[in-house]
Amino acid sequence: MNLIFLGAPGAGKGTQAEFVREKTGIPAISTGNMLREAVRNKTSAGLAAKEYMDRGDLVPDEVVVGILKDRIGEDDAGNGFILDGFPRNVRQAEILEEMGVDIDLVIEIHVPDEKICARMSGRRVCEKCGSSYHTEYKPAKIEGKCDLCGGDAVQRDDDKPETVLSRLKTYHEKTAPLKDFYAGKGKLKTVEGQELVDDTKRLTFEAIGC
């Protein structure tokens, strides 16, 4: 099964993608996590991506597509994958089709903009393994530490308020048109993001039927 998670920054698509990975064993592939790792490791993709990420813009398609192709070519993705954060514009969706990737279902996690800004301030991401937490909605067992690997769970640079506004603008201009793109193919299901992460999880599992 090939799934896509779509949603504004901070809507919780990454967290839901992880829940589905835990339940189904299908690997979750986050282009944002891979790009952040590339930036940390100062690879050529990372160096090309950094300035765009810092201002809340999309990284050029060829940079992201390069790392995505490598990742979905790995063994564990042979029986399907969950894409978290890709595609981010209609061109990337077309590239997926040109690659022969058949998408079964697109889950949009929908949260109104007003709620997003409040949520983002509490988000923490493990520097080592990329797991996400939220100070209020999904706290780590030990504040500031990742439950899974013990790495530092910190606020991402691009979760700072000024960058969040720019990322929301980018989402509405470039990513939101994907809703019509996939709705037109009968593949879109929208899940309303709830106050409690477990309630959203239940709705997400229902939508996927897993």
Interface positions with ligand AMP (CB under 6 A): 9, 31-32, 35, 52-53, 56-59, 64, 85-86, 88, 92, 158, 167
Instruction: Give me the least distance between CB of 200 and ligand AMP, in Å please.
Output: 17
- Which residue is it, tokens 């007003």? 114
- Which residue is it, tokens 């530092």? 152
Is 13 a residue of the active site? yes
Write a three-state SS string for 69-108: HHHHCCHHHCCCEEEECCCCCHHHHHHHHHCCCCCCEEEE
First to last CA, the chain: 11
Active-site residue among 71, 123, 124, 138?
Answer: 123
Is 36 a residue of the active site? no
Instruction: Give me the least distance between CB of 192 and ligand AMP, in Å please.
Output: 20
In the bound complex, which residue of the shown chain has the CB atom lying closest to ligand AMP? 32
For ligand AMP, the closer CB: 35 or 111 = 35
Active-site residue among 88, 124, 138, 201?
Answer: 88
Residues 6+ apart with CB under 8 A from 66: 45
For ligand AMP, the closer CB: 40 or 202 = 40
Residues 6+ apart with CB under 8 A from 55: 163, 166
Residues 6+ apart with CB under 8 A from 199: none
For ligand AMP, the closer CB: 27 or 56 = 56
For ligand AMP, the closer CB: 39 or 202 = 39
At residue 71, what is the residue type? R
Is 201 a residue of the active site? no
Instruction: Give me the least distance between CB of 47 and ligand AMP, in Å please.
Output: 14
Supply the residues annotated as catalytic.
13, 88, 123, 156, 167
